[in-house]
Amino acid sequence: MSHVDEGTLHAYLDGELSPPEHAALEIHIAQCAPCSARLAEERSLIERASAVLSAARPSERPAPPLNELASPRRRGRRILGARLPFAWAATVVLALGIGYYLHAPESPVAPAQEPKAVATNVPAADKLEGRDLQRRRDVRSARSREEVSDSAASVSTEPLTTGTVALQPRAQLRGAAPVRAAEPAAPSARHVDEAIVQADNRLAGLRGRLVSSQWTVISRGSARTLLGADPVGIPGLAARGIRRSPTDAATIVVEQQLDSTTVIQLFQRAATVDGAALGFSQRFNAQAERAPAERLARYVGRLRVEIAGPLTPDSLNRLLEQVQPLP
Amino acid sequence: MPEDIAEVYRSTYGALVRFLYRKVWDAERAEDLAQEAFARALVHRPEKARGWLFVVAANMARDEARRAAREKRHLTLLKSESDFVHGSPEEAIDADTQRTHVRAALEQLTPRDREALLLWDSGLSYDEIAAQTGLARGAVGTTLARARRRLVEAYDAGLAGGGQHVARG
């Protein structure tokens, strides 16, 4: 056997020679001083290269559970979190399209606004979303310099209605209040406060118009006057503004920023028993069984509050549970 | 088979993140891509999951690199890495410097040498490396020998050029 080439030496040291090759090489090395010396050199080279590479490794963090990866929602969320400029661009394009659709005079608006959704039992996969939400916050802080400054820029260059516009697809998915939740007529009753109810069609109609008609910015004092109570919000979140519905003076929206890219809207008005809305909702109640909710509502004190935002129903639900009168 | 993927996930996730990290140089992005690769594996159920994952990951990293080049984010990425280094600021700076040198050294390799080396370091066998890189199986050893030598030489040269006199041993 002639001298061993370096490729074979590396394969030998890597444990990648076949058993016969392996045996033959060891016999040769034992008899050949030059090859034996080279073997030692190559061994130290391999160790050296490995050490150099190991200087460039990320800090190891535990892998998330595998089943979490299977959720398409998670992946969508990731894309939203990681590629915001694109996500926002896509959102704006989508919203413009839907806005056009909703306002095109001949467009079949009614079918589009048929309520589909809102089940309070969240599918199992969505149980993870709370964690996702937390993780997303973590991501945000970790990426503060780079991503957030980007996205903050993109948010601030959009008119305020962008947040609104982004939610338009959900407007089509809205449903009306399920019987169970709508039945208690006294909204101040304690047990009603915890009821998660469904968006009613009265607000639904308004949402279709948000695209073009500006909701007037109002002061907190005006909001209190209109509602007959303090407007509510999620404690600890920056409020972007309070706006009044252009068509229904009793309805206002509080917009709050969950993070630099996510605007949560809290539609609210003094709670009343709306028989028409109730009948409407009953009709579609059967359809509402399966589809996940995109928008949820509950009573807070004397107010009926609906939440909307680019989050999963579970996340929205958690946020809605935290709603309190703004200080 | 999903069970196989679960097993591969346990054994390979860390290596896949590391592999991706040495291509995109952003720890969090590497995790995202690795998780995305596994998510795809769950859908596609490839027969040879491990090799498949590294092929997918390499493709994703390539797309990522193109995108990064378009957006000229390299400098930002390098800066943001200190976020992920634990320990004192001095250690962080040192680790940062080292990483920069390793990255520079890796970039001196030919793409195929670099790929073979990174795959080997991720735990792939010669067979798997051959399948992924298109090298003949018998050429993998030679390729790795060359890649290792060039990496170490380039790293040492980078250290010397970077004003650090003592070669690391």
Find the mean pLDDT for residues A48-71. 83
Q: Which residue of A has its CA nearest to B29?
A: A82
CB atoms within 10 A of CB A147: 22
The residue ranges of every structural domain in chain A are 6-54, 71-325
Shortest distance, CA B77 to any CA of chain A (angstroms): 8
Asked if A6 and B95 come within 8 Å (Cβ–Cβ), the reply is no
Residues in chain B predicted with pLDDT less than 70, given as ranges, are: 1-3, 71-93, 162-169
What's phi and psi for B153, nearest 5 deg? Answer: -65, -45
pLDDT in tens, A274-294: 433 433 333 333 333 333 334
> In sequence order, which residues have a C-beta less than 8 Å from that of residue A225 and are 6 or more positions away?
none
The alpha-helical segments, DSSP class H, found in chain A are 6-13, 19-31, 33-54, 66-69, 72-82, 84-103, 109-112, 129-142, 149-157, 161-166, 168-173, 179-182, 190-193, 201-209, 220-227, 275-283, 313-322
Q: Identify which of A134-138, A177-181, B96-100 has the greatest average pLDDT.
A: B96-100
pLDDT at B143: 97
pLDDT in tens, A89-129: 555 566 666 666 666 554 444 444 444 444 334 344 444 44
* pTM exceeds 0.80, yes or no: no
CB atoms within 10 A of CB A215: 22
SS3 A252: strand
The residue ranges of every structural domain in chain B are 1-71, 85-169
Contact A215, A253 (CB under 8 A): yes
SS3 A238: strand
How many angstroms separate the CA atoms of A291 and A243, rounded? 30
The DSSP bridge pattern shows strands A262-270 and A303-308 to be: antiparallel
CATH no. for B85-169: 1.10.10.10
pLDDT in tens, A25-47: 999 999 999 999 999 999 999 99
How remote is the C-alpha of A232 from its chain's centroid?
22
- pLDDT: which is higher, A301 or B46: B46
DSSP assignment of A137-180 equals HHHHHHTIIIIIHHHHHHHHHS-THHHHHHTHHHHHH-----HH
Contacts of B145 in chain A (CB under 8 A): 6-7, 9-10, 42, 45
Q: What is the ipTM of this complex?
A: 0.79
